[in-house]
A and B are shown apart, each in its own frame.
Chain A
Amino acid sequence: TVAEQSTSIPLPGVNVFIKGTTTGTTTDFDGNYQIKVNTGDIIVFSYVGYKAQEKQYTGQTSLNILLGEDTAQLEEIVIIGYGSVKKEDLTGSVDVVSSKDFNKGTVVSADQLLNGKAPGVRITSAGGQPDAKPNIRIRGGASLSANSNPLIVIDGIAVDNSNPAGVNNPLTLVNPNDIESFSILKDASATAIYGSRASNGVIIITTKKGTSGEVKFNFSSNISTSTVSDKIDLFDGNQFVDFITTTYPGETDLLGVPVGSVSTNEAVSQIINGREIYNTDWQDAIFRTSMSSDYNFSARANLFEKIPFRASIGYNSTEGIVKTNDYERITASLKFTPKFFEDHLKIDLNAKSIFVDKNNIDNDGALGSAVSFDPTKPVFDNNSPFGGFYTNLSDQGNIDGASNPLALLLQRSRPEKVSKILGNIEFDYKMHFLPELRAVVNLGLEASRAEIVETFTDNALATYQSTDSGDFVFNPGVNYRENQHITNTTLESYLVYRKEFDNFFINNFDIQGGYSYQNFKNDGNKEQYRYADDTGLRIRDIKNDDAYFNELNLQSFFGRSNINLFNKYLVTVSFRADGSSLFRKDKRWGYFPAAALAWKLKEESFLRDVDFVNDIKIRVGWGETGQQDITDIAGFYPSTPLFEAGSSTSQYLSGVAIYNAKPFNDDLTWEKTTTYNLGIDFDFFNSNVFSGSFDIFKRETTDLLVRAPVGPGQGLTNVFPKNVGETESEGFELNLNLNAIRKDNVNFSINGNIAYNKTEIVSLKDVTVIDSPDSGIPTGTGVNLAFNVVGLEAHSAWVFKQIYDLDGRPILGAFVDLNDDGIIDNDDRYYTPLRPNWTFGFGFNFNYKNWDLSSSFRGQLDGKMYNARRLSRGYTEAALPNNTQNLNNTLNFFSDAADPNFTNRRGNIPFSDYFIEDASFLRCENIVLGYTFNQLFKNTNLKLYAAVNNAFLITNYSGQDPENFNAIDDNFYPRPRVYSFGVNLDF
């Protein structure tokens, strides 16, 4: 019998073989085995995750073995595309982040577990919302206009790139507590097997499995409270009075409200010229100290002693720190991993279901108004027709100036409900007649239903309308409705032939070939409403995108072979043919080869006996991958000439329904990325004391899918995706782990990573500059800050060089005449890249007896941020009424929040590099202190912990937060600081 060392539970599936032969067997479910041996043979017992044992046969009739867990080895099986491989046999650049490395504390979505943990993986959340959209870039991303997010594979199913309606973060749709590990595939030799969707890397998420032993339960819970970590430094009411009376004395009459005109409990701080001055902090009015909780229960068992099984349920309720931004999620998961026919057939069945209900708020409206609303006005007014919220009206009865931000939040509800299931069943059959040959079939289904209803309450500010007769009415009610069905199906099947040899130069090899089919269908309808001038009612606003139906089909044929020569040289070659429905039939197929070579130096005679080197391996990889996902910018039928109907507000000739010919480009084809990677993995001193990896890479993308200008008159619009560019990236990643102390009672380990990545645009064909999307700055309309310029990094700001006076203060509107022609014009602007090249993360774990303390940090060493808050609220005239009778708050000119030299922002002022600041930072992601009660009861372990997430931030950036994907800081939803307390009970 073979059993587990600490529990004596029998271990099924243990490999038992005679050393130096292929003769072997495996243990059955009771851990029993039979093998024919000769005296003197050495029997090897090996099992994944356990230390292998060797016993010499000396004529025993039974040989009982206890295998001990090998924590070092547990992580050494690496899940890669269509299979797994031992870490020591890995040829590509793959990072594994497993549960013990995860970020701890309060974690709502999977990306938060990973952030800062893997070198070259930059995860930038869109802000502090519970389901903030993460921008994930592996090695900076290879594409320019096409989707640059990595492919995410959950339990073998490559999930959809587009999210269900109402879901900002697809990684909230898997319960973080169910996740066992992430594999991050970075270079092409690793990703090529995923071909069509892998140009930007692959993140493989593997969820926890059932046990082979006795039933185990886990209950965990976490209660947290979140606060705003940093508010924007604005004038308070009294400072604002000082500012206006000294700077714009003519406007003093607009401060506060006439005495007795409002009815509120709020305190009047002073009275000036018959006007009551309130002291309102509008940020406090919309922010809250929020409470959140998370509960998870899971059971692991071996059903009927045959079917390893895990089930979990989870409930999460997270309150955003902006009022009414509530998020609730229920998750359930089931996993069965039985084996049949003496382990010839392995089945892996996964089902996950998720239900999310959140109230989506008007972020920009609420955050923007909270900053600009005059602080001398009260929040409430019982006399107000707007449901008791103070609102400034013009003489003509129009809402004047900013809307009361608290009213914006409380008078609108927008529940966004999503139910989703993600399930798959994988059959892995080892042929009875030919055990070296396996056939694998994986069927997957990803389906979601989303429902959104946006409603305004009675007397809502947003529904206040003037009528033909000059009166005003409210027209509350439903404003928007959407129902959406997403149904994605996957079929993958492949054959693997694996053969091991003795005393042959090929130690072992495998070869596999297969087919993959993926279909993504997104079907829904919207109802949009508007105020009808002629009837005064809220009516359907028929738009041409009210009903939508988008289908994407991807099919591939792929093959891969791994060859192990002399157990020293590992060779991997793969090839993939990918077809995408986005392209015309004859442009549809792309062919993507890859190859990699690894050299296990440790196996060489000159290192074999060097004790302090446990392992050292050099990897070289090359490969091509493809990119086709331009659905965000060109829809799902970008190569086909099609017509669309017009919206009800965009008709023209009377009595005729308008139709528009949509732009298309039937020349579109695959974008291709070639990656070269050189890497080294090492493990020094006994038992992983010091280990790590270093990778250096170069990447070239050609036939770049770029949203590029169309020759004038030669297309049905002026800008459309074309295959017209090239980018080149290079960089490196270093990952280090040090187990500094490893004693019975004390453990101390440190891990750290740093990565550099620089991607330059080599060519855009005829064009040298195109707009970079999402780079609008809040001045006028359609004003872009950043561009994609040949010869530079993507998303570079185009700015003037600010001139400063002798005191170092900026001189308004004075710029350096860079070309010395005596005129300041666009020729004096220069480009400066915004996104960081250097990112890093580090952390430590410390255990002393039952105590554990851990912390993780991450940050960037460079990168820039355009402080758009300074542009929009950091000039003194921003306080003045703009076509209104209403003052606006500004940044606090009395502190250093803004420079009063900035009286206006006319002309070229918005393009001053004064607004561009260094965005390097160090963030303490979490600090966790825990205590574990071992064997509280029989087989019951209890862990208690306290944690702070987003504990502190060190940066020179003068605004709220330097971490922002578009590098333009405006109306940012602050990332909260979260204090939590949790329990984890294993029984």
Chain B
Amino acid sequence: CTDDLNTEPKVELSLDELLAQDPNAVEGIVSRLYASFALSGVQGPDKSDISDNAGESPFLRGIINLQDFTADGMKNRWGDDGLDQLTTTSDWDENNKFFRYLFNRVYFTIPQCNNLLAVANNISIENKESVIAEVRFLRALAYYYLIDTFGKGVLATEENFGDSAPLPEASRAELFAFVEAELIEVEAALPATNSYGRASKAAGQMLLAKLYMNAEVYVGTSRYDDALVLINKVIDEGGYSLAPDFVSLFSADNETSTEIIFPLIADADTSQSFGNTTYIVNGSLSTETMVLADFGANDGWTGHRATKAWYGLYGDLGTSTDDRASLFWTTGHNFEMADYREWKDGYPSIKFRNTNFNGSPIITAFSGTDFPLFRLADTYLMYAECTLRGASGGAINTALQYVNAVRTRSNASTIMQSELTLDFLIDERGRELNLEGHRRSDLIRFGMFTGSSYIWPWKGNVVGGTSIPDSYKLFPIPLAALQANPNLTQNPGF
């Protein structure tokens, strides 16, 4: 009778049962690992994998919040407990829930990957080598964001998966070395092309290139030479080409784009999340000044607006030929952001939308626009940057050609070689890539994020902007994490 204490679930399955039941089970688990960057969980958009709010905490929303709203080009007006401090780059502390969200998402994805890697050798998997490489890529991607935002953490791998003693703290250099080694190892196994949404060889190269690009920030050694090698491979061997139209990259049918190297998928019906592009599209819309249906949405959250630090980069928006300059909603809005809490101060960005670029209009509650995490225009600009920073093998002509290709695509004027400087490039990166989750890292790499050399509206919680301390190059480790693992120590300055 005491055998009855061994109760057996019927709805949930053990790994063995799952593998026996569904021949594609491993693919289904891999799908969930990819999804961990875009969805709140696997039980609908209102349920969360982690204890944090399902709407606010998804990975991609964290990337946008931490990379774009803390930087110069984008501000949010809601002021929810902690968002003010984020958007004004001031008063950061370990209790800010928005820092915790990203930290928790990083450390949700990593052990989920480890969980599969720990058993991968013992189960039969079709294309095992490439699947394992993909999983290791996803884990490296999560670690990349940890290195970039918090600068340290613990190194959880399939080797120590299941250990209950708190893991030792891993420094930025240790995490860097791990991610570098992982990405080097999986490069060969990642497929040259993969089905949509899955990592190809170029995605792995792109990630490693980004790691190298920021190596000086991360570990104090410049690695632009190494970055350029990978950038060249992406450009030459990846098979990607610039999309003919800039807007098509940020429309609901962007899954057909030739430019996107690695997307985070959103689907209005089957991949719903308040933390994928729905956050960007709906968050930038408001019935107060806009017609939602024009952007394929039926809900506007009256939240995000760009600042003149972004739209000021295009000169006069009214006369600019640059397609990218037209992607701001100016009607009813003020150029200056006198009060970031006022919806009408600053221009909403309409770069991302939920309408199809080709074909009939759609209106859906959730956005179906995929997020281009890595795309070729970024690679082109990375090439130019490495070259300008003196990477061996970089050709300035080629760099100019790439930059002009990016600009020409948007009907912006071409530039001369003499104009191609690092100062120009950081601005061009803003024009091209703002609201795509790169801005804060870029500003730090260019030495413009902290201090007073570059200020932007509301930097340091002052309307005109003010200096912020160097400690703001990293986010504080969330209190919850410090408490959950006493080996973790706080970043300096917090």
Taking Cβ atoms with an 8 Å cutoff, the residues of A that contact B are 394-396, 398, 466-470, 517, 519, 531-534, 541, 543-545, 547-549, 551-553, 555, 579-581, 585, 588, 636-637, 640-654, 656-662, 667, 707-719, 766-769, 771, 779-783, 825-826, 882-885, 906-907, 910
Contact = CB atoms under 8 A, between A and B. Distances in A.
Contacts of A543: 43-44
A647 B55 CA distance: 16
Contact of B56 (A667, A719, A771, A781): A781
A780 to B, nearest CB: 3
A648 B400 CA distance: 47
Contacts of B301: 883
Contact of B154 (A643, A644, A654, A711): A711
Given A580-B5, A642-B13, A651 B91 contact: no
17 contacts: A395-B287, A468-B360, A470-B361, A549-B9, A636-B9, A642-B9, A644-B11, A648-B270, A652-B31, A652-B197, A657-B31, A660-B29, A712-B107, A718-B51, A768-B483, A771-B51, A782-B53
Contacts of B34: 652-653
Given A466-B293, A534-B269, A643-B14, A654 B484 contact: no
A906 B341 contact: yes
Contacts of B265: 652-653
B195 interface: yes
Contacts of A709: 480-481, 483-484
B2 interface: yes
Nearest to B163: A714
Contact of B4 (A519, A640, A643, A825): A519
Contacts of A579: 2, 5
Contacts of B361: 468-470
B325 to A, nearest CB: 27
A533 B268 contact: yes
B385 interface: no
Nearest to A764: B483
Contacts of B84: 906-907
Contact of A468 (B51, B57, B164, B362): B362
Interface stretch (B19-27, B200-208, B305-313, B452-460): B19-27
B483 A780 contact: no
Nearest to B272: A649
Nearest to A471: B363
Nearest to B267: A651
Interface stretch (B64-72, B108-116, B210-218): B108-116
A642 B12 contact: yes
B327 interface: no
- Identify the interface centre among A517, A534, A709, A907: most chain B CB within 10 Å of its CB: A709
Nearest to A824: B91
B43 A647 contact: yes
Contacts of A781: 53, 55-56, 80
B9 A398 contact: no
Contacts of A707: 51
A541 B44 contact: yes
Nearest to B300: A883
A650 B44 contact: yes
Interface in B19-59: 22, 24-25, 27-32, 34-35, 38-39, 41-45, 49-53, 55-57
Interface in B457-491: 479-481, 483-486, 488
B370 to A, nearest CB: 11
Interface of B: 1-2, 4-15, 18, 22, 24-25, 27-32, 34-35, 38-39, 41-45, 49-53, 55-57, 78-81, 84, 91, 93, 95, 97, 103-104, 107-108, 110-112, 114-116, 153-156, 163-164, 166-167, 195-198, 265, 267-272, 286-288, 291-293, 298, 300-302, 341, 360-366, 479-481, 483-486, 488
A398 B360 CA distance: 21
A885 B79 CA distance: 22
Contacts of A650: 35, 39, 41-45, 271-272
A879 B300 CA distance: 20
B7 A651 contact: no
Contact of B81 (A654, A712, A783): A783
A581 B8 CA distance: 9
Contacts of A534: 268-269
Contacts of A882: 302
A533 B484 contact: no
- Identify the interface centre among B42, B80, B104, B272: most chain A CB within 10 Å of its CB: B42
Given A640-B9, A659-B25, A707-B51, 13 more contacts: A468-B360, A533-B268, A641-B15, A649-B269, A652-B34, A653-B30, A714-B163, A718-B51, A767-B484, A780-B80, A783-B81, A825-B91, A906-B79
Given A715-B111, A883-B286, A553 B167 contact: no
A548 B43 CA distance: 14
- Identify the interface centre among B31, B35, B53, B486: most chain A CB within 10 Å of its CB: B31
B252 to A, nearest CB: 11
A295 to B, nearest CB: 42
A643 B18 contact: yes
Given A549-B11, A713-B107, A643 B30 contact: no
Interface SS, B side: loop
Contacts of A717: 49-51, 108
Contacts of A658: 28, 31-32, 35, 42
A649 B51 contact: no
A322 B373 CA distance: 50
Contacts of B360: 468
A533 B362 contact: yes
Contacts of A780: 78, 80-81
Given A396-B293, A532-B269, A825-B91, A646 B483 contact: no
Contact of A711 (B2, B57, B485): B485
A703 to B, nearest CB: 15
A644 B17 CA distance: 11
A373 B439 CA distance: 42
A714 B162 CA distance: 7
A662 B27 contact: no
B269 A533 contact: yes
Contacts of B111: 713-716
A534 B22 CA distance: 28
- Identify the interface centre among A533, A585, A769: most chain B CB within 10 Å of its CB: A533
A553 B484 contact: no
A652 B5 contact: no
A779 B27 CA distance: 40
Nearest to B3: A553
A859 to B, nearest CB: 34
B202 to A, nearest CB: 18
A664 to B, nearest CB: 10
Contacts of A769: 479, 483
B157 to A, nearest CB: 9
In the A-B complex, the 5 residue pairs with the closest CB atoms: A713-B156, A782-B53, A646-B42, A780-B80, A709-B484
A418 B43 CA distance: 27
Contact of B1 (A517, A580, A581, A766): A517
Contacts of B167: 711-714
Given A553-B7, A713-B153, A661 B80 contact: no
A585 B301 CA distance: 50
- Identify the interface centre among A580, A646, A660: most chain B CB within 10 Å of its CB: A660
B28 A659 contact: yes
Nearest to A465: B298
A782 B97 contact: yes
A637 B107 contact: no
Contacts of A783: 80-81
A710 B111 CA distance: 11
B154 A713 contact: yes
A637 B7 contact: yes
Contacts of A906: 79, 84, 341
Contact of B12 (A644, A708, A712, A883): A644
A396 B291 contact: yes
A657 B302 contact: no
A647 B271 CA distance: 10
